[in-house]
Amino acid sequence: MGAGGRMNVAADDKPLAHKRVPVSKPPFELSDLKKAIPPHCWERSLVRSFAAVFRDFIIIGALYYLADTFIPMLPKPLAYVAWPVYWFFQGAYLMGLWVIGHECGHHGFSDYPWLNDTIGFIVHSLILTPYFGFKYSHRTHHANTNSIEYDEVWIPKRKSDKLYSEILNNPTGAFLVFVFKIVLGFPLYFVFNLYGRKYEKGITSHFYPYSPIFNDSERFQIFLTDLGVFATCYAVYRAAVIMGTQWVINIYGMPILFMSGFFILLTYLHHTHPAIPHYDSTEWDWLRGALATVDRNFGFLNHAFHDVTRTHTVHHLFPTIPHYNTFEAREAVKPILGEYYKYDDTPILEAVWRETKDCIFIEPDVVDGEKKGIYWFHK
């Protein structure tokens, strides 16, 4: 494991944001981190959890009212500016609602599993996310974070993939990859498991009950997931019949597109960075995998996203802590984590462009002429 120390020394002349995290076995255990977190951080409050849901619905409703009432009254040049502003902010707060559904999947919303699944199913269905499908694949992601063989999402490419390592390994290619991810990454991930783990057999889709992503006891819930998303799609269709297609696109379609872009930004940037490693089965263990994540600062959008952007590492360590307590939990464990904690406050557009063009594929460390099971991003 000495490779980690050598690689860190080699990276010392790089900006701090690029300094590689240690890959040696941490000098602390998960139990040490758990003891450092104040006991009240583990408590789930129905009042605070529902307050977060109501906050999102109130803001989403207010934005809808303002857009539907006043934008059609504006002169066309102003309307062409006002609609994208509405799409951006509505998409951001729809992403906040998505975060609540994600928390329900971790049973961080309340002490009652049935209530978690009910709220999660409703809010995710309303924003075209397969709640149970994501809940179960996301469980596997948390169990195998940054394992190149068993992780469920953002599996890095290898140098042998010539499309990425050669054809797209240039500024133009990086820009096309960025646009593709932002626009189509959300639906393609859930429908075709793009950016997800490759399975040898079966159709890998979050909507297919017999997908190898799920086990037999989970398949009925995937049917329910499909019904929930179908019901929303049907409601959107009926709204288009009554109100017109353009109205639906402006009020709902484009905000969902922006929300899906925010989803890609959050998940991609939390798991892609020049300074974090990936591991194969010869080196991977759960704690080091969970620590190979990055906290980011989304500026004013932190409010829309319930500030989960800056607490992703502690979320991977303790996913049942509710979002309103994760910041305090993060501050409690940071002194113990030391160099094993990664925070990057590079402006988000700059960061996503840097990661898109610099994190093209992964290759293993080579120490004394021998390849190790620790992989780093290259371009």
The alpha carbon torsion through 337, 340, 341, 343 (nearest 10 deg) reads: 160
The C-alpha atoms of residue 153 and residue 28 are separated, in whole angstroms, by 27
Is 80 exceeded by the pLDDT of residue 318? yes
pLDDT of residue 377: 93
SS3 277: coil
Tens of pLDDT, residues 262-304: 999 999 999 999 999 999 999 999 999 999 999 999 999 999 9
Secondary structure E strands in the chain: 278-279, 295-296, 343-344, 361-367, 370-378
Residue 188, φ and ψ in degrees, nearest 5 = -70, -30
C-alpha–C-alpha distance, residues 125 and 97, integer Å = 11
**What share of the chain has pLDDT > 90, as a percent?**
88
Angle at 258 between CA 253 and CA 262, to 5 degrees: 145
State the CB neighbour count (10 A cutoff) for residue 371: 13
At 138, the pLDDT band (50, 70, 90 cuts) reads: very high
The total of other beta-carbon atoms located within 10 Å of residue 288's CB is 23
Kindly state the average pLDDT of the residues 349-355: 93
Question: What residue has token string 């390849």?
Answer: 371
pTM, two decimal places: 0.93
Task: Report d(CA 315, CA 299) in Å as an integer.
Answer: 19
DSSP 371: E
- The region, left, alpha or beta by phi > 0 then psi within -120 to 50, assigned to residue 154 is left
Is pLDDT larger for residue 113 or for residue 5?
113
* Average of per-residue pLDDT across 52-72: 98
pLDDT (tens digit, 9 = 90+) per residue, 7-17?
333 333 345 56
Planar angle of CA 132, 127, 219, nearest 5 degrees: 20
Q: Please provide residue 275's backbone torsions phi and psi, each rounded to the nearest 5 degrees.
A: -95, -5
Q: Which has more confidence, 80 or 5? A: 80
**pLDDT, tens digit (0-9, with 9 covering 90-100), for 34-45:** 999 999 999 999
Mean of the pLDDT values across residues 239-246? 97
Distance CA 296, CA 303 (A): 13
Mean pLDDT of 205-219: 96
Contact 124, 259 (CB under 8 A): no
Q: What is the pLDDT of residue 4?
A: 40
* Whole-angstrom distance, CA of residue 23 vs CA of residue 4: 5
Tokens 């996913």 -> residue: 319
Q: Please state the φ and ψ torsions of residue 283, each to the nearest 5 degrees.
A: -125, -25
Q: Find, among 303, 323, 304, the residue nearest to 314 by Cα.
A: 323
What's the pLDDT score for residue 16?
56
Average pLDDT, rounded, for the chain: 93
- Report whether pLDDT(26) > 50: yes
**214, 136 contact by CB (below 8 A):** yes
